[in-house]
Homo-oligomer: A and B are copies of this chain.
Amino acid sequence: MKEIETFLEDKKVRPTAMRVLIYKYMAEKEIAVALADIENAFTKADRTTLYRTLKTFEKNGIVHQIDDGTGITKYALCDKGCNCEIEQDLHLHFHCLNCNETVCLTKHKIPHINLPEGYLAEDVNLVVKGICEKCSGQ
């Protein structure tokens, strides 16, 4: 709890009660979360506050946004070494078609993609869809 506060302060984010709780919530989850998930977890708080908390976290490199193709924006905590405020995140994401959960595979970096002459890559989004290890029966 206290560590979360100092962590947020390190990231130049004022550790309000709500922010600490949201951070804690995301840290305890191993999967990416949608705004609606947080909404359901904190029904007393307003959606706007939760939304802006995520945006603040994102701007300050605490979480990164994930577009897993479901049309619902997900967020996940950044790793220690992750500096996606500066450059893009290079790991791939997995979306399970069975349990509908999305996870960061931070160990799995996106391979270098060859492009035709004249094309300049600035960002890459790689999402694999299928069955996760929980759903495949390990």
**Contact surface of A with B, Cβ cutoff 8 Å:** 67, 69, 71, 92, 94, 97, 105, 107-108, 111, 113-134, 136, 138
Contact A128 B111 (CB under 8 A): no
Q: Give, as a whole number of angstroms, the nearest-CB distance from A103 to chain B.
A: 9
Report copies per complex: 2
A92 and B113 alpha carbons, distance in the complex (Å): 9
Of all chain B residues, which has the CB nearest A97? B122
Asked whether B127 lies within 8 Å of A125 as measured between CB atoms, the reply is: yes
Find out whether the CB atom of B108 lies under 8 angstroms from the CB atom of A128: no
| CB-defined A-B contacts under 8 Å, sample of 21 | A67-B67, A67-B69, A105-B115, A105-B116, A111-B111, A113-B128, A117-B133, A118-B133, A118-B134, A118-B136, A119-B128, A119-B133, A119-B136, A120-B130, A121-B129, A121-B130, A122-B130, A122-B131, A125-B125, A125-B126, A126-B126
